[in-house]
Structure 1
Amino acid sequence: MNELWFRGQLREIGRAECLELLESTSVGRIAFCSIRGPVVLPVNHAMIGGEIVVRVTPAGQTSRYLRDSGPGADLTFEVDAFDESTKSGWSVLVNGSARAGEPESMLGATDRPVPWPAGSYWEYVRIRPNRVTGRRLVTA
């Protein structure tokens, strides 16, 4: 039988549902354009005060990009989930402005997000969503 018969349909997701999906997961990807080209990095995140918050190491690529670009640097963030058995899933893409935040500015955030890898992830990055879009692949 022809597999094309069972292909799903893409549906747009509204902003409110996109924000709920962002809050429902703790792993996403940040993306930006460095002088060497595009950079996409997996990170742990949390939604705090309407912003996406990640913790990075001060010696890493993201910190370097923010220092070079200054406050309000363009940054893209993406989260998704999929199920290969049902060939369904969703994806949320956020275009926003990022700034480094000191740990003191995150008081009361219960040290979220918690990075999975070991290391010195004490620099917080706050991403203010400017544009939020999403798509869901639903089974036929």
Structure 2
Amino acid sequence: MNTARDPHASHPTSDLGRRVAARRTRLGLSLEEVAERAGSTPGYVSYVEEQVPTPGIEFLVRLANALETTVQDLTGYTADLAPGGARAGYRARMEEIGEAECWELLDGHGVGRVAVEGRDGLMVVPVNYQVVDGALVFMTAPDSSLARASASGAEVAFEEDRMDEAFSQGWSVLVVGPVRTVSDETSAQRMKDAGHPEPWAGNGRDTLVTLSPRRVTGRRIRVPGTPGMPSGSAD
């Protein structure tokens, strides 16, 4: 798997193109690797990312398979749907995930949820996060519940998950520990330079907060016969 920056990096102009490019980047695949998986050419995959609003359904299916996702996800059909609507898998089983794999699943950055004590009691808010030096880093507003909790070193819980609706399986990771505000400018700049802590919610969220993990746990739901799982008993 090629994780280096793609020399043919595209500038997607359609919703589909943005989703294809984002998914390819998340998997660490080059245009050539996606093209080989989809039975196409790097030039056409790049063309889809940059210019084609909607290619034919046959190619879309091959492209979704190459990117280990679904046509519905690539086209945005499921973007506004709450996850978890599919029926439970046959003979599904729950298993624990080790701490090392939990960090691998967090994948360095993304969007998760933080449970924190607010003015009106416990609340859960979505946050962009970055993993830096074994800690989770968030950007928040100076008057937010998360910022107030970090000023006192309070303990919070952070959760991230992924679901495979097609096979009714998925995983979740829980990180629990105290949060603190990063006031040292050198440390703050180093963390900002490390990657993607910027919040999707926009400007005004310039308070840097770190969560030092005290406990990292994870769980996974598996279904026999699905990709990566042998058929047969779930015992």
- Is the TM-score greater than 0.5? yes
Cα displacement (A) at 1:45: 0.1
TM-score relative to the length of structure 2: 0.53
- Residue in 1 aligned with 2:106? 22
The one-letter code matched in structure 1 to 2:172 is S
Equivalent residue for 1:74, pick from 155, 160, 167: 155
Higher helix share: 2
In structure 1, stretches of 5+ residues that fail to align are none
Task: Name the SS of the counterpart of 2:130 in structure 1.
Answer: strand
Q: 1:96 to 1:10 in 2, by over 3 A?
A: same
Alignment of 1:75-114 (within 5 A): 75-102=156-183, 104=185, 105-109=187-191, 110=193, 112-114=196-198
Output the aligned Cα RMSD.
1.9
Cα deviation, 1:90-123, whole Å, max 9, x if unaligned, reads 0000111110113722223316312112121110
Question: Percent of counterpart pairs with the same letter?
Answer: 37
CA contact (8 A) 2:116 2:122 kept: yes
CA contact (8 A) 2:88 2:168 kept: no
- Residue in 1 aligned with 2:42? none
RCO higher in 1 or 2 (8 Å CA, sep ≥ 6)? 1
TM-score relative to the length of structure 1: 0.86
Q: 1:108 to 1:65 in 2, by over 3 A?
A: closer
Higher strand share: 1
Larger Rg: 2
Q: 1:10 to 1:58 in 2, by over 3 A?
A: same
CA contact (8 A) 2:130 2:196 kept: yes
